[in-house]
Amino acid sequence: MKITKKCDSVFFDDILSGKKKFEVRLNDFECKPGDILILVEVDENRKLTGRKIEKKISYVLKTKDCKFWKKEDVDKLGFLVVSFED
């Protein structure tokens, strides 16, 4: 399945360069490993720039399913997303 989502320019450039190898999103759509995520770049005014990247999804973590953090800790601290190199 192919899923298209908007991506801010600052993050788009990092993905394009290979520096950023993850994506953090609200859980408002379904996806699974093997699906293709199409990221279309938007500028600071949320207007499409015409650039896009297609990435194959390799892993999906839905944090709402993670019960090992207390809600008050998440509300206070938020999440830290870490990317690994091969």
Q: What's the pLDDT tens digit per position in 5-28?
A: 999 999 999 999 999 999 999 889
57 touches 18 (CB < 8 A): no
Q: Which of 61, 62, 64, 57 is nearest to 21 (CA)?
A: 57
- Domain ranges in the chain? 2-77
pTM of the complete model = 0.83
User: Is 85 a residue whose pLDDT tops 80?
Assistant: no
User: Is 50 a residue whose pLDDT tops 80?
Assistant: yes
Q: Kindly state the tokens that stand for 25.
A: 């999103």
Strand order in the sheet with 48-56: 2-8, 36-42, 48-56
- Nearest-angstrom CA–CA distance, 37 and 54: 6
CATH tag, 2-77: 2.30.130.30
